[in-house]
Structure 1
């Protein structure tokens, strides 16, 4: 795929991503397959305490570096939770003119939930192919660590990988699963551009993006000069 056609596709995808209409906020159905809220009650040091929790899927995230282009590969997408955090806390219809969809667009590592009976490294490989278009052998993946994605209401485990790719491994433009209605933009940043990005006062990215930055700059200095 040429750089021109790739750019046109990204522009079209971004337009679709920001075409947000008929947004409504309502209560969580009890049968949600993704989030299960509970309240834990326990006694600690003789005191009765309550804590509201969410059980969610474990996940994988991948730091991707294209050695052909000398670029780090990220994904950008609309995240409803990020958008919701920008809204007033009330239910009902949302005015997308007052609260534009861009408020919910993030820059992230390629990632996905662990919802299949497969080794996590295989799930990571599938996510790289689906979201970014690179067909990468498992041998190219290095497991960095596993960490808990939250300590307040969520305690699911996220496994972080590093993978090096080349232009020859790119077999499709990425963009996520059409069946699932995903709209994912593939974003390339040089290490210097990434460093400038994370040094902003505020970035629209999850915490693992910063963890990835620290790991990459510390462990791959040969790519950072």
Structure 2
């Protein structure tokens, strides 16, 4: 699934998802500038399978995460990245099911579609429990991410999931014990803050055995 090769860094080309800006402003009498991005808001969903007591998560290759593992001296524009020196596995993350808000639907309806598309569970909108919204990437984009929680059963799975061909998402499952081990392993978690927020919310609010 994640056989990645021919990695090359190039200058930003035309994008329908990113809109770069430089904001000019005056703060306490001092003129300042700030580079930032306009991006879509998003939804994310904690999925808990109550048939087998596992969290349903997704694993995928994230180019920005991979870039972050590459020494700045080796990020030369139009030069191939040495994938032996920098294994592309370094860019693989574990996340909760999520997606951008790019349709004329309610946030809950978009969340429901993402659960089906990425993880293969057909859930009713009414089963989605609203958790809350927060700002992500406050130094660059500050888009709004809205989180939900839903419980599923094996009977509700009607496809393999995996997202679109462009996304190449792998569905993974974790028991609560496996999740806790992942959260504390080596002090490094290859997941975004939204994952951490959602998992700690789950442990505090849904896991009866958690001592966090």
Is the pair's TM-score, using the shorter chain for normalization, greater than 0.5? yes
- The answer for the alignment partner of 2:159 in structure 1 is 172
- The answer for the alignment partner of 2:127 in structure 1 is 140
- Name the TM-score, length of structure 2 as normaliser: 0.94
- 1:111-163 superposed Cα distances (whole Å, 9 cap, x missing partner): 00111111111111111101101001111101100100121011100000001
Structure 1 runs not aligned, ≥5 long: 1-15
1:53 aligns with 2:36: yes
- Name the TM-score, length of structure 1 as normaliser: 0.88
Which of 163, 183, 202 in structure 2 is aligned with 1:198?
A: 183
| Distance in 1 of aligned mates of 2:193 and 2:81 | 27
1:130 aligns with 2:117: yes
Q: How many residues are paired up?
A: 206
Alignment of 1:1-225 (within 5 A): 16-17=1-2, 19-29=3-13, 31-89=14-72, 90-91=76-77, 92-178=79-165, 181-200=166-185, 201-222=187-208, 224=210
Q: Secondary structure at the match of 2:66?
A: helix
- 1:22-75 superposed Cα distances (whole Å, 9 cap, x missing partner): 11100002x310111110010011110111001111000001100001001100
Structure 2 runs not aligned, ≥5 long: none
Q: Secondary structure at the match of 1:24?
A: coil
| Distance in 1 of aligned mates of 2:209 and 2:161 | 24
- 1:62-117 superposed Cα distances (whole Å, 9 cap, x missing partner): 01100001001100000111011112332221111211110100000000011111
RMSD over equivalenced CA pairs, Å: 1.3
| Distance in 1 of aligned mates of 2:156 and 2:64 | 33
- The answer for the alignment partner of 1:13 in structure 2 is none
| Distance in 2 of aligned mates of 1:110 and 1:130 | 9
